[in-house]
Amino acid sequence: MISDELERRTHDLLVRAAHVYRGHPHAGARLRRTLERFAGPLRLAVAGAERTGKSTLVNALVGELVAPVEQAGFVTYQDGTQPRGWRHPEHGRPYEVPVTRTADGLRLGLDAPAPRAVVQWPSRVLRRTELIDTGPSLPPGTVLPEADAVLLLTPQIGEPDLDFLRAGRGLRGPAAFPIHALVVLSRADTHGDGLPDGLLEARRIARRRRREPLLASLCQDVVAVSPLIGYAARTLRDDEFRALAAIAALPRADSDPHLLSTDRFTAAAALPVVDPRVRIELLRRFGLGGIRLALALVRTGSATTAALAERLHEYSGLKDLQTSVSELFVARRAALKARSALIVLDHLLRTERLPPSGQLLAELELLLAGAHDFAELRLLSALRSGRVTLPAETAREALRLLGGAGTSLGERLGLPTEATVDHIWTVAGDSAGRWRHEAGSGARTPAQRRAAAVVLRSCEAILADGAVPASDA
């Protein structure tokens, strides 16, 4: 399929460049590292200023308490058969250290802190995607080269956030495609005191911001999330549900006055149905807004631990974020990893000139000119966010053909896995005909015709990949 071709050609360019630059004191080593990364999982960085919820979001995505790592700034979380950890000193080789789980995250050994660490943790989430907790605020020049994609956390989008996003978008080459960034409004639980309507308002703000032309040119999506409530939802325990249900069962006149502040909620004489120590733990896990939300959900029908966890997960915005990450990043990891590798290659070919580098650079530019994966990703984002609109049924077909429901031939065409080559060919041909008409329709706006042209090219790629019908073979 499309991504397979981009992946193959990118790998071929990297191998040839590594051969050209073998023995070069700087470029050779960097190309070897790039090839190693290209063969590995997608690297997703969680970035942002301090106290924006980066470590909590890592925990929410993994579904376990792994972050923060004590005494480490830049931490990469990888899948492994058992918990293991390595410290990476500023000078010298990495070395393995014991991993200890504490109430506040992981601790790596007892020695002096190091600026970087790697943690292996058994996790289905980490099998295809490594997560990078960037720790204290780091400049874009430090974060962006380490990642294939970035979640930028911020309470509200300001100029420093725009500067971060601008740093990831170049004026030419592969960096000109801003397909790697997603903005997370990470204080969704502060709207409306964390009640359902307040969290819905935060999501409306995110939808409005993602349609702004400036942000649309710098990132793929804007999503509102409460990392704290999302993590609590992923790890909700039965004893926590029982405590929340006991408070929810009280008359509102008896419980609501104690939900006005953290001091009132944790006061020794408050809410005698739940021990003060349990209330303090609930406050640490959910925040006051999360407790208010959980009580509202229990009172409106969430009668079990599983039911409450599911609704908290949805209201927190974490489910929306996971969907965006899955569709825009994980499903397109080949394109994102190719973009990262090509950025490195483009820079080296322009700054470390050797006689063969001109030919390689020309091939790189030719590859980028035909890199339909990047155009698909931008249109997927535009359709999902509403920046480009199509009639409802047409939009659904476009999203599917672009790979929004999966990138295999069958998933793009909406066909079962047992579909024959003839059936695939027929459906793909019919789809191409419809989108050829859309691309030339005077009833559509210029933006809609441009979108249709992208979908048409996807259909043509499907036809090319589908080979010859069995009846013609």
* Predicted TM-score (pTM) of this structure: 0.89
What is the spatial distance between Cα 392 and Cα 210, in angstroms, rounded to a whole number? Answer: 20
Q: What mean pLDDT is reported for the chain?
A: 90
Structural contact between residues 118 and 14, judged by C-beta atoms closer than 8 angstroms: no
pLDDT at residue 473 greater than cutoff 50: no
Longest dimension (CA), the chain: 82
Instruction: Give Cα separations from 111 to 89, 95, 104, 258 (angstroms).
Output: 11, 11, 18, 44
pLDDT at residue 275 greater than cutoff 90: yes
pLDDT at residue 466 greater than cutoff 60: no
Overall average pLDDT of the 387-398 stretch: 92
- Which of the residue ranges 185-199, 222-236, 296-310 would you say has the lowest mean pLDDT? 185-199
Chain segment 33-89, per-residue pLDDT in tens: 999 999 999 999 999 998 899 999 999 999 999 998 876 678 999 999 999 999 888
pLDDT for 110 equals: 67
What is the spatial distance between Cα 361 and Cα 344, in angstroms, rounded to a whole number? Answer: 12
What is the spatial distance between Cα 122 and Cα 28, in angstroms, rounded to a whole number? Answer: 33
Structural contact between residues 88 and 118, judged by C-beta atoms closer than 8 angstroms: yes
The amino acid occupying position 81 is T
Domains of the chain, by residue range, sit at 41-225+320-329, 238-301, 388-472
pLDDT at residue 111 greater than cutoff 80: no
Structural contact between residues 141 and 170, judged by C-beta atoms closer than 8 angstroms: no
- Which of the residue ranges 39-53, 170-184, 326-340, 347-361 would you say has the lowest mean pLDDT? 170-184
Q: In this structure, is the dihedral angle defined by the CA atoms of residues 222, 226, 228 and 229, taken in order, positive or negative?
A: negative
pLDDT for 438 equals: 94
| Nearest residue to 283 via CA among 272, 299, 295 | 295
Overall average pLDDT of the 427-446 stretch: 94
pLDDT for 55 equals: 93
| Nearest residue to 398 via CA among 364, 375, 422 | 375
Domain 41-225+320-329 has CATH 3.40.50: yes
**Locate tokens 């535009």: which residue?**
382
pLDDT for 455 equals: 96
Structural contact between residues 266 and 279, judged by C-beta atoms closer than 8 angstroms: yes
Range 211-241 burial, b when 16+ CB lie within 10 A, else e = eeeebbebbbbbbbbbbbbbbbbbebeeebb
Chain segment 216-244, per-residue pLDDT in tens: 889 999 999 999 999 999 999 999 999 99
Overall average pLDDT of the 258-278 stretch: 94
Range 250-261 burial, b when 16+ CB lie within 10 A, else e = beeeebeebbee
